[in-house]
Amino acid sequence: MQERPFRVLGVQQIAVGALEKSGLGKLYVDLFGLERTGNYRNERENVDEDIVRIGKGPLAIEIDLMQPIDPEKSPKVHVPQLNHFGL
């Protein structure tokens, strides 16, 4: 196995996008029981997101439930639906 110049300590963040974040909230908050911790909206990034968390302390993982402010503009935070992982 090739040696890596880094070490992955865990997952810090997962970003999930959809045209409407309300459906994502029903799944992650209402069904899975994750805690809603905030929201973020940025016109330049074309994103309106709810921030939820699973876990506590240093093991907590942030999950960003994103929808585009304008689905016709870029960046398209809902394409692909699983936008990114933060390690």
Q: Is residue 17 part of a domain?
A: yes
Q: Is residue 3 part of a domain?
A: no
C-alpha–C-alpha distance, residues 39 and 36, integer Å: 8
Domain total of the chain: 1
Token pair recorded at residue 3: 């040696």
Strand 47-54 to strand 61-67: parallel, antiparallel, or no bridges (unpaired)? antiparallel
Q: Is residue 8 part of a domain?
A: no
Task: Read off the pTM.
Answer: 0.86
Q: Is residue 5 part of a domain?
A: no
Q: Is residue 55 part of a domain?
A: yes
CATH code of the domain covering residue 40: 3.10.180.10
Q: Is residue 47 part of a domain?
A: yes
Statement: residue 87 has pLDDT above 90 = no
Q: Is residue 2 part of a domain?
A: no
User: Which residue shows structure tokens 């990114």?
Assistant: 84
- pLDDT tier at 8 (50, 70, 90 boundaries)? confident
SS3 content of the chain, % helix, strand, coil (to 5): 15, 40, 45
Which domain, by its residues, includes 61? 13-86
Statement: residue 82 has pLDDT above 80 = yes
- The answer to whether the bond into 71 is cis (omega within 30° of 0) is no
